[in-house]
Amino acid sequence: MWAELLPVGRSSASGGYRRYAWTPADTDCRTWFREQAEARGLTYETDRNGNQWAWLGDPAAGDAVVTGSHLDSVPDGGAFDGPLGVVSAFAALDELRGRGARLTRPLGIVNFGDEEGARFGLACVGSRLTTGALTVEQAHRLTDGDGITLPQAMEAAGHDPETIGPDPERLARIGAFVELHVEQGRALDLSGDRIGIASAIWPHGRWRFDFRGEANHAGTTRLADRRDPMLSYAETVLAARREAELAGAVATFGKIAVEPNGVNAIPSLVRGWLDSRAADQESLDTVVGGVEKAAREYAAAHGADLDVVRESFTPVVEFDHALRDELARILGGDTGTDLRVPVLGTGAGHDAGILSGRVPTAMLFVRNPTGVSHSPAEYAAEDDCVAGVSALADVLEGLART
Ligand code: HGY
Ligand code: MN
Ligand code: MN
């Protein structure tokens, strides 16, 4: 499975993945998912929001145990973020069949669409639509960098956009959701453990900063006469770093658009996207409030106008305590394994976080020896991935026979 997915959507220039929602690379990943489901005799379906499901047993029976993740990527992402959870889900099912496990609850495998939000700017679109966290009206307003709307992109990829919207019936069938994911930090590497269980996801969001000035000639415009928005943008990047350090949080300007984007023109517009995350809401508010205040001062000082728009936000997620403890019991306790499973929080967003308000949800992390993620260098050792599959199989079996 891993070898089949590896070339899909991979840039030969960077070695990273460019599997953006509803593009041909994404379609190839979806075809792969469907083939995996059919090869195992699972019931395959695409839901109204374009998420893919593969079922063992009848989901209509309810109280289903579901696992899975996503197959899309950030620009030049790594191979593991998302696909590890989907591949491990199919592999865990194979292991359960090999063990002759007797499951009394339906078992589902899911590929949530557009988790990274690389194309339309909003993360977890598939799960947000399903829970209603993203409304149909909001979804219709999402556009990519070329002005193609989400419904247009869905339609071009063969999914009927008329069907999108909340799916409470589907959610009601799920008794537990467990997402396995490569760790996006070094906590497991530092503690010497292969597998961890998630406690919480930091509150996080994305804010768009539009600095508007005046386009003019780079050679002939006196410095004193310029209204150059790049200056206030640059100072704002430094302010974000400062505010994050003060609050023990993180803040990143990782994407920027400049108009007219000419080497010999003073820009008329600098649009930068701030991604900020903190352990608690108060710290996050302090960072974003501080960055915005600084940005307004810098903009005023350089004769630029500033608009700040919050494009997305996910409040703190505290995963279901009972399910988390059940996972710890299954993995660390009575199965005969002596696996130590630390419980850790993360600053990364996941579909599991979106679902957690509606369904008992848990996450398993697999050790990442460098901690690198959202980069072609992202890596996990094969032994650790195999341990992840085995842990996931134990968890699914433990949950689905009770
Ligand atoms: O955390 C993120 O940026 C994304 O949701 N994976
Ligand atoms: Mn990611
Ligand atoms: Mn991910």
Residue at token pair 């968890």: 395
Instruction: Give the chain's mean pLDDT.
Output: 97
- Single-letter code of the amino acid located at 353: G
CA 2 to chain centre: 20
pTM for the whole structure: 0.95
Terminal C-alpha separation, the chain: 29
For the CA of 81, the nearest ligand: 3
pLDDT digits (tens, 9 = 90+) for 26-45: 999 999 999 999 999 999 99
Ligand 1 atom closest to the Cα of residue 275 is: 3
164 touches 154 (CB < 8 A): yes
305 exposed, middle or buried (CB, 10 Å; 0-12, 13-18, 19+)? middle
Q: What is the DSSP string of 4-72?
A: HHTTTTB-TTTS-B---TTSHHHHHHHHHHHHHHHHTTPEEEE-TTS-EEEEES-GGG--EEEEEEE--
Distance from the CA of 23 to the center of ligand 3, in angstroms? 18
Using most ligand atoms within 8 A of CB, pick from 17, 70, 80, 116 the residue to mutate for ligand 1: 116
List the domains of the chain with CATH numbers.
2-202+316-400 (3.40.630.10), 205-314 (3.30.70.360)
* CA 179 – ligand 2 centroid, Å: 13
Check: CB of residue 100 under 8 Å from CB of residue 397: no
Tens of pLDDT along 285-332? Answer: 999 999 999 999 999 999 999 999 999 999 999 999 999 999 999 998
pLDDT tens-digit profile of 120-148? 999 999 999 999 999 999 999 999 999 99
Confidence at residue 336, expressed as pLDDT on a 0 to 100 scale: 45
Q: What is the pLDDT of residue 290?
A: 98
Residue from 70, 119, 202, 350 whose mutation best tests the ligand 1 pocket (most atoms within 8 A of CB): 350
| DSSP secondary structure letters along 64-76 | EEEEEEE----TT
